Protein backbone atom coordinates (compact mmCIF):
# COMPACT_ATOMS: atom_id res chain seq x y z
CA UNK A 1 0.00 0.00 0.00
CA UNK A 2 1.06 3.57 -0.62
CA UNK A 3 -0.19 6.37 1.58
CA UNK A 4 -0.79 9.42 -0.57
CA UNK A 5 -0.01 11.83 2.27
CA UNK A 6 3.41 10.22 2.68
CA UNK A 7 4.19 10.75 -1.00
CA UNK A 8 3.19 14.42 -0.89
CA UNK A 9 5.01 15.10 2.37
CA UNK A 10 8.24 13.69 0.94
CA UNK A 11 8.18 16.39 -1.73
CA UNK A 12 10.11 14.40 -4.27
CA UNK A 13 9.60 12.75 -7.62
CA UNK A 14 10.51 9.20 -8.37
CA UNK A 15 9.14 5.71 -8.55
CA UNK A 16 6.03 5.18 -6.45
CA UNK A 17 7.28 1.80 -5.26
CA UNK A 18 9.79 3.65 -3.08
CA UNK A 19 6.83 4.62 -0.90
CA UNK A 20 5.16 1.20 -0.71
CA UNK A 21 4.67 -0.26 2.75
CA UNK A 22 4.09 -3.85 3.85
CA UNK A 23 4.98 -5.35 0.47
CA UNK A 24 4.91 -8.94 1.71
CA UNK A 25 2.19 -8.61 4.35
CA UNK A 26 -0.99 -9.17 2.39
CA UNK A 27 -4.42 -10.59 3.06
CA UNK A 28 -6.28 -13.10 0.91
CA UNK A 29 -10.07 -13.05 0.48
CA UNK A 30 -10.43 -16.55 1.93
CA UNK A 31 -8.72 -15.67 5.24
CA UNK A 32 -10.81 -15.58 8.36
CA UNK A 33 -10.61 -12.69 10.82
CA UNK A 34 -8.28 -14.56 13.18
CA UNK A 35 -5.80 -15.20 10.37
CA UNK A 36 -6.03 -11.59 9.20
CA UNK A 37 -5.44 -10.32 12.75
CA UNK A 38 -2.26 -12.40 12.88
CA UNK A 39 -0.99 -10.83 9.66
CA UNK A 40 -1.74 -7.34 11.01
CA UNK A 41 0.08 -8.17 14.25
CA UNK A 42 3.13 -9.66 12.56
CA UNK A 43 3.41 -6.75 10.12
CA UNK A 44 2.65 -4.12 12.76
CA UNK A 45 0.33 -2.59 10.17
CA UNK A 46 -2.86 -0.56 10.42
CA UNK A 47 -4.01 -1.28 6.87
CA UNK A 48 -3.21 -4.07 4.41
CA UNK A 49 -4.07 -4.94 0.84
CA UNK A 50 -6.42 -7.81 0.06
CA UNK A 51 -4.88 -9.65 -2.89
CA UNK A 52 -6.20 -12.41 -5.14
CA UNK A 53 -3.80 -15.32 -4.54
CA UNK A 54 -4.08 -16.55 -8.13
CA UNK A 55 -3.72 -13.31 -10.09
CA UNK A 56 -1.93 -11.05 -7.62
CA UNK A 57 -4.56 -8.40 -8.32
CA UNK A 58 -5.36 -6.04 -5.46
CA UNK A 59 -9.02 -6.51 -4.60
CA UNK A 60 -9.22 -3.90 -1.87
CA UNK A 61 -7.83 -2.96 1.49
CA UNK A 62 -8.73 -3.75 5.07
CA UNK A 63 -8.07 -1.61 8.10
CA UNK A 64 -7.10 -3.43 11.29
CA UNK A 65 -9.81 -1.60 13.27
CA UNK A 66 -12.49 -2.90 10.91
CA UNK A 67 -11.18 -6.47 11.19
CA UNK A 68 -11.12 -6.28 14.99
CA UNK A 69 -14.58 -4.70 15.09
CA UNK A 70 -15.92 -7.59 13.00
CA UNK A 71 -14.16 -10.12 15.22
CA UNK A 72 -15.67 -8.55 18.35
CA UNK A 73 -19.11 -8.63 16.72
CA UNK A 74 -18.80 -12.33 15.90
CA UNK A 75 -17.58 -13.10 19.44
CA UNK A 76 -20.59 -11.25 20.85
CA UNK A 77 -22.97 -13.25 18.64
CA UNK A 78 -21.36 -16.51 19.78
CA UNK A 79 -21.58 -15.40 23.42
CA UNK A 80 -25.28 -14.61 23.05
CA UNK A 81 -25.94 -17.97 21.40
CA UNK A 82 -24.18 -19.80 24.23
CA UNK A 83 -25.93 -17.83 26.95
CA UNK A 84 -29.39 -18.21 25.47
CA UNK A 85 -29.73 -14.83 23.79
CA UNK A 86 -29.07 -12.42 26.65
- Residue 51: the pLDDT is 94
Tally of CB atoms within 10 A around 48: 21
pTM over 0.75: no
- Domains of the chain as residue ranges with CATH: 25-83 (3.10.580.10)
Q: pLDDT > 70: what percent of the chain?
A: 76
- Residue 74: the pLDDT is 87
Query: Confidence class of residue 12 from pLDDT cuts 50, 70 and 90?
Result: low
- Residue 84: the pLDDT is 82
Judge whether residue 75 has pLDDT over 70: yes
Segment 31-48 mean pLDDT: 92
Amino acid sequence: LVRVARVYSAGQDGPIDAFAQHRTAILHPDMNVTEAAGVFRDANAEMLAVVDPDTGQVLGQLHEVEALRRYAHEVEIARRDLSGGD
